[in-house]
Amino acid sequence: MVEQAKKLAATRAIDEYVQDKSVVGIGSGSTIVYAVERLSERVKKEGLKLVCVPTSFQAKQLIRQHGLVLSDLEENASLDIAFDGADEVDTNLTLIKGGGGCLTQEKIVASAAKTLIIVADYTKRASFLGEQWQKGIPIEVIPMSYKLVQKTIESRLGGSAELRMAKAKAGPLVTDNSNFILDWKFAPSVSNDWKEINTTIKLIPGVVETGLFIGMTSKVYFGNQDGTVSTL
Q: What is the Cα–Cα distance from 208 to 194, expressed in whole angstroms? A: 17
Positions marked catalytic: 106
- CB crowding 189-223: b at 16 or more within 10 Å, else e: eeeeebeebbebbeebebbbbbbbbeebbeebbbb
Apex CA 45: angle with CA 36 and CA 59, to 5°?
A: 15
Q: What is the Cα–Cα distance from 201 to 89, expressed in whole angstroms? A: 20
Residue 137 pairs in a beta bridge with 184
Longest dimension (CA), the chain: 56
